[in-house]
Amino acid sequence: MRKQYDEQLKHLNDMLIEMGALVEKAIALAIDALVKQDIELAKQAISFDAEIDNMENDVEALCLKLLLQQQPVARDLRLVSAALKMITDMERIGDQAGDISEITIYLADKPYIKKLEHIPMMAEATAKMVTDSIDAFVDKDLERARSVIEYDDVVDNLFVTVKRDLFELTRANAENAEQALDLLMIAKYFERIGDHAVNIAEWVVFSITGVHGNA
């Protein structure tokens, strides 16, 4: 019985790794599509959403099976509970990568009002946060999880810079306003991806320590 239980827990871990890899790929494609204004790459990023949704359903089903059949306690219970929370955030990240790509497609036939600088920096920072939060779960690495939570300040500061730059462009020329708003929305989606990475990291902390957050 214990062997079967351990195998199910390992399978859960493997599924979360797989779902995390899909999320990371969706973000990478969304970033690449945005910078290159590449419609095909954007469509590929959007296509990952259904696959991520299916993985969420599969992981949720396994977690519920473990809770009902195995009735885990202590650390194992925290692990399964954290996994249920984490997949919700991963699914939302997939949605937001798709949302970014949809805006990218809309903007693809026009040059950007300025060379993208801080938005790609935001994108790279949030991608790092997502990767590190998932790696922290896989490796049971408490310090890495906490570093993700602290790194959110970097993304928030970049978002403030993006807002300021786009405001200045709009003030200088009202014709920039429409694209500026779209670019601001993209930046906001990246900020939200960072927030979801923080959520994942906080649940990693909980799965290890039994305390939610950066305590």
Residue 38 is predicted with a pLDDT of 97
Q: Within a 10 A sphere around the Cβ of 142, how many other Cβ atoms?
A: 15
Q: What is the mean pLDDT of the chain?
A: 93
| Any domain includes 214 | no
Helix axes 177-209, 142-172, angle to 10 degrees: 170
**Which DSSP string corresponds to 5-21?**
HHHHHHHHHHHHHHHHH
Q: Where does residue 37 fall: left (phi above 0), alpha (psi -120 to 50 degrees), or beta otherwise?
A: left
Residues 8 and 142: their CA atoms lie apart, in Å, by: 23
| Any domain includes 139 | yes
Least Cα distance to 81 among 128, 31, 12 occurs for: 12
SS3 132: helix
| Any domain includes 12 | yes
Residue 213 is predicted with a pLDDT of 66
pLDDT band at 212 (very low <50, low <70, confident <90, very high): confident
For residue 180, the enclosing domain spans 2-209
Tokens of 135: 């790696």
Question: How much is the pTM?
Answer: 0.93
Condensed to tens digits (0 to 9), the pLDDT of residues 196-207 reads 999 999 999 999
Q: Is residue 214's pLDDT more than 70?
A: no
| Any domain includes 156 | yes
Residues 54 and 91: their CA atoms lie apart, in Å, by: 10
Residues 123 and 191: their CA atoms lie apart, in Å, by: 9
N- to C-terminal Cα separation, the chain: 35
SS3 110: coil
Residue 39 is predicted with a pLDDT of 97
Residue 145 is predicted with a pLDDT of 96
Residues 129 and 133: their CA atoms lie apart, in Å, by: 6
Residue 200 is predicted with a pLDDT of 96
The residue-averaged pLDDT of 149-162 equals 96
pLDDT band at 104 (very low <50, low <70, confident <90, very high): very high
Condensed to tens digits (0 to 9), the pLDDT of residues 61-87 reads 999 999 988 888 888 899 999 999 999
Residue 71 is predicted with a pLDDT of 83
CATH label of the domain that carries residue 29 = 1.20.58.220
Q: Is residue 6's pLDDT more than 70?
A: yes
Q: Is residue 5's pLDDT more than 90?
A: no
Give φ, ψ of 212 to 5 degrees.
-85, 130
Of 30-34, 65-69, 186-190, minimum mean pLDDT range = 65-69
| Any domain includes 66 | yes
Domain count, the chain: 1
Residue 215 is predicted with a pLDDT of 55
Q: Is residue 35's pLDDT more than 90?
A: yes
| Any domain includes 101 | yes
Q: Is residue 15's pLDDT more than 60?
A: yes
